[in-house]
Structure 1
Amino acid sequence: MRPYTPKDNVQAKAYYTDRFWVAPRLPEEPIPEGSPYAEDLAAVKKACKVLNAYIQRGQLVIYINPQDNVKALAALKEKRGFEMLSEMSAVDFLAERGGFEVFYQILNLDEARRIRVKCFVEENQAVESVNPLYRSADWAEREMWDLMGVKVNNHPYLKRLIMPDDWEGHPLRKTYPLEGDEFAQWYEVDKIFGKEARDIIGPENRDPARIDRYDTERFARLGHEVPRGAPAEEVDQTETPVQYQEEEGVFLIQKFSQENSKVLDKRK
């Protein structure tokens, strides 16, 4: 059994590099004077401090301080008719900026206008729940805490929504391993059989792309088909021809075969 490695400093090892292509930001346009969005912004400015505001893809985006999220949303809902919170979540900027960008997407149903309210929250900083304003925030805030680890104060029932209650870590953080960390690989083994069974059973494999040819259901390999549930020692390892239809094929449709297939060099 491999030794356990503490994961306390996994976030400290995260870093931002430019080795991956980064999509260019959408252009930020000024807010036209006298427009409905200008009036919406004025209502928010009366309630709290606005750090930045602009039009992006025809929508108003407002940046505020995280402690003012309830004030800003209350002003837009009560003064400007934004009655619906259609979406809210957080974006992981831990490696670059040490925190999360929390956003609230709200909708004015009568005038078909959308506004995105954003605030930046540091890793261990909490935001106030907007559940009293928008009931749709209930599960959204639970999911944000469960998968991203953004704390929400005064939520009526802040428990994990998708992961088990005793889960460790937050799987949607960019530093969370794609196949799970040490805890994830041993979670069900420890839960069902106990840690003493680790040497017997082995860690879980959470790679969805992996197919074990000695699986209990005897998955078939392309070109080496095997019967379902057949014992490994009875499997014929000779290669079988690849066919794209059943034995009888489909009536009035030409049969496809690997020999007659062609790979195009470039798209037509």
Structure 2
Amino acid sequence: MRAYKPKDNVQAKAYYTDRFYVSPQVPRQDAASDEVFAKDLEAISSKFTVNDSYIEVGQMVIYINASDIYGVLELMRDELTYTQLTEMSAIDWIAKDNTFEIFYQMLSMTKRKRIRIKYSIRNGQAVDSVEKLFRSADWSEREMFDMFGIEANNHPFMKRILMPYDWQGNPLLKTYPLIGDEFAAWYEVDKIYGKEAREIIGPELRDTARIDRYDSERFALLGHEVPKGTKITGNEPKTEKAYQEEGGVFLIKKYDKDESTIVDDPQR
């Protein structure tokens, strides 16, 4: 079976115009404008290289070197009271400059402040696991590996967490098709019934927006209802809309389209 290969220049030639939409930047403030953030930044920059820092939407963002991540988070936990790693993941910038941006969302309950630590890595480069500092990083690092293919060095169990272990591809890469690739279309058929059943069953359709009114086994389009299993010819007349079975439901009046009223006044 053909393995899925990323498409070239996918961001410039996206299938959907809003798929790689970049939202306008919100205003940024100098980190020194907040007394608490200024002290935190000073403590971090005294021991590690800070490449950039600013305050955005009430939280401070700090860019560091990838090799310093374990030490920075350890300092934040032990000395700056940022004791919770609430979120961590990656952003795919492969089409832009062949890199990933890794971020760690830190929370201090005593200071009531949030700091986001960021750094960039090359495509194919691993990160250092921080699972020994924060147990919440265990599943987050596995999810990052599963969805983006980014490995975390020294992680105790670096396996997929959402997709099957033998899955091919990483679903959150921007080059991954929204409805899956050829491997995804045949995965369950091959796994359960074997490849010899492909012609009998057919590929799995993962497009949730697809509607087939002639599929009387799994779906019936409103206005063309047929009993389950009915042989479809394609010439069935359109039926009137009915939202209850014959006999109705006790104490509930059966809906009649001709007696319905459309309310145009939102204040009514």
- TM-score range (shorter-chain normalised) is 0.7 to 0.9
Instruction: Name the amino acid aligned to 2:4.
Output: K
> 2: distance between equivalents of 1:11 and 1:69?
32
TM-score of the two chains, using structure 1 as the length reference: 0.86
Partner of residue 231, structure 1: 230
Q: Residue 136 of structure 2 aligns with which residue?
A: 136
CA separation of 1:6/1:219 partners in 2, compared to 1, >3 Å: closer, same or farther? closer
Q: Which amino acid aligns with 1:81?
A: T
Residue 7 of structure 1, CA deviation: 2.9
Q: Normalization by structure 2: what TM-score?
A: 0.86
C-alpha distance 60-180 of structure 1, shift in aligned 2 (>3 A):
same
Counterpart for residue 26 of structure 2 = 26
Change (3 A) 1:267 1:149: farther
Q: Give the partner amino acid of 1:140.
A: S
Superposed CA offset, 1:48-101 (max 9, x none): 111100000111110111111111111111110100001111111111121211
- Residue among 11, 14, 21 paired with 1:15: 11
Give the deviation of 1:216 after TM superposition.
6.2
Give me the whole-angstrom Cα distance separating, in 1, the residues matched to 2:85 and 2:164.
Answer: 27
Does the 8 Å CA contact 1:16/1:96 hold for their aligned counterparts?
A: no
Q: Which SS does the other structure have where 1:169 is aligned?
A: coil
Distance 1:95 1:35, change over 3 A: same
Q: For 2:28 and 2:186, locate their aligned partners in 1 and report how far apart those are by CA, in whole Å.
A: 47
Q: Which residue of 2 aligns with 1:74?
A: 74
SS at match of 2:139: helix
**Counterpart of 1:210?**
210
Instruction: Give the 3-state SS of the residue equivalent to 2:77 in structure 1.
Output: helix
What is the Cα-based RMSD across aligned positions, in Å? 2.9
Q: 1:150 to 1:78 in 2, by over 3 A?
A: same
Shift in CA distance, 199/255, structure 1 to aligned 2, threshold 3 Å: closer
1:32 alignment partner, SS class: helix
After alignment, is 21-30 or 106-115 more displaced?
21-30
Name the amino acid aligned to 2:238: E
Name structure 2 gaps, 5 residues minimum. none
1:123: which partner in 2? 123
| Aligned positions of 1:137-176 closer than 5 A | 137-176=137-176
Alignment gaps of 5+ in structure 1: none
Query: d(CA) in 1 for partners of 2:186 and 2:114?
Result: 44
Q: Is the 8 A contact 1:103 1:117 kept in 2?
A: yes
Give me the whole-angstrom Cα distance separating, in 2, the residues matched to 1:226 and 1:29.
61
Structure-2 change in CA distance of 1:190 and 1:13 (3 Å):
farther
Tell me if structure 1 keeps the 8 A contact 2:31–2:54.
yes
Kindly state the Cα deviation for residue 22 of structure 1 after the two structures are TM-superposed: 3.0
**Structure 1 counterpart SS, 2:23:** coil
Alignment of 1:53-92 (within 5 A): 53-92=53-92
**CA apart distance, 1:215:** 3.9
Aligned to 2:116, the other structure's residue is in SS state: strand
